Each structure stands twice: as C-alpha cells, then as structure tokens.
Amino acid sequence: MPRRLFITLEGGEGAGKSTNLIFVRQWLQREGCDVVVTREPGGTEIGERVRDILLHTKQLHITPESEMLLMFAARFEHINKVIRPALAAGKLVLCDRFTDATYAYQGGGRGLPADRIAAVEDWVQGDLRPDLTLLFDIPVEAGRERAGQRSEPDRFERENNEFFQRIRATYLARAAREPKRIHVIDASRPLEQVEQQIVSVLQEAVHGR
C-alpha cells in the first residue's frame, strides 16, 4: 500500500512548481494514493485572505517581521484545519509551498534570522515537518523570464534579481543540509526530463524502490 506522506513542492519564481504539481498529483493518484492538494499561503478561508494581503496588496508596506508572522498565522490555521486532519485520516497531503518558503523568502530574501523563523516554526508546527520536498531549481534570470510571460506580477515578483538570488541560495543551502528530505529537481531541463526526475524521487518515497 502507498505510504501516508506529507509532500511539499518548493521553488523560486518561474520554476514550474505549480505546473508540475498537477503531474505529481496525477502520478500519486495512479499509484493508489488518496491525495489532498493544498497550498500556502492559503488552504483555508483565513489563509486565502492572508494570501490576498501578501501577494496582491501592491501599495501596502509590510515589514519583514509582520510578513513572516502573517505566513505563520495562515500556516497555523492550515495545519490544524487541513493538514493534520488529512494525515490522521490516512491521506497523502501534497502542498504547494510550506515552511521552506518562509526560510527562503522571509529569511533569505528579506534578511530575517533563521533562528527567529525556527522559533516560530517550532511553536506553530510542533513536530510536523514534510516527509519529502521537491525543490524545483532554475537560474533566477531564466525563471523570471518564464514568470514574466504569465499574469501581472504579484507583490513578491516585483522584487529585484538580488532578492531572488538570495532566495535560491537559501533553498539550495537547505537542500544541502537535508538531502534525504529535500530533492533538487533541475527545472531548467525539458519538461519530459523534469518529469523523469520527479518520478524517480516519488517511486522511492511512496513505494521504497
């Protein structure tokens, strides 16, 4: 039987994370997993309202500290109303971003100390951590070019290249420290090759092969 897992997808702008989420969900369902798909910030009514504030309120100045705390406020609701109940029911949870994004965006990007984020993480999450994280990695310039072909940029997408370089560096540093959990997917490759990388990781995680 497929294992009950908490799987997260991470990556910078234009890495194809949201597109590949569909592929991951479909693959898991074909393998017999009962999948709950969710996202951050979001996943609950409160979380979606926080998402709207953080991503789409262009003229609102939010301090890095407030931004981080809003993320964790939405996450607390998300964990207790969606993620933990789904896992307790034996489902597999597939989440578009989680706390690694806070370390990358508010930590690396905004410059907040990692230990400050970790303290709130422990308080909000307890012992809950993802079992597996797929990190979609792409050079910043290539990712931003892709993202620019989508809809109007959100509040984060308006930042400069240096901001996103720091985010990428933070993600890759976390992957280097936790290689058993965080698997780097080379998202600059053609889609078929990206999907092959994903399947290789998922087969091991879900079936142990």
Any domain includes 21:
yes
User: pLDDT tens digits for 105-152?
Assistant: 999 999 999 999 999 999 999 999 999 999 999 999 888 887 666 666
Domain holding 36, by residue range, is 6-207
Any domain includes 171:
yes
What's the mean pLDDT when you consider all of the chain?
92
pLDDT at position 154 is 66
Cα–Cα nearest to 82, from 128, 16, 20: 128
pLDDT at position 209 is 58
Q: Name the domain count of the chain.
A: 1
Average pLDDT over residues 57-81: 92
CATH number of the domain that residue 34 is part of: 3.40.50.300
Let me know: does 131 contact 180? Beta carbons within 8 Å.
Answer: no
- Statement: residue 49 has pLDDT above 80: yes
Any domain includes 1:
no
Q: In the chain, which ranges are E strands?
A: 6-11, 35-39, 92-96, 132-137, 182-186
Any domain includes 172:
yes
Cα–Cα nearest to 21, from 2, 43, 36, 42: 36
Any domain includes 183:
yes
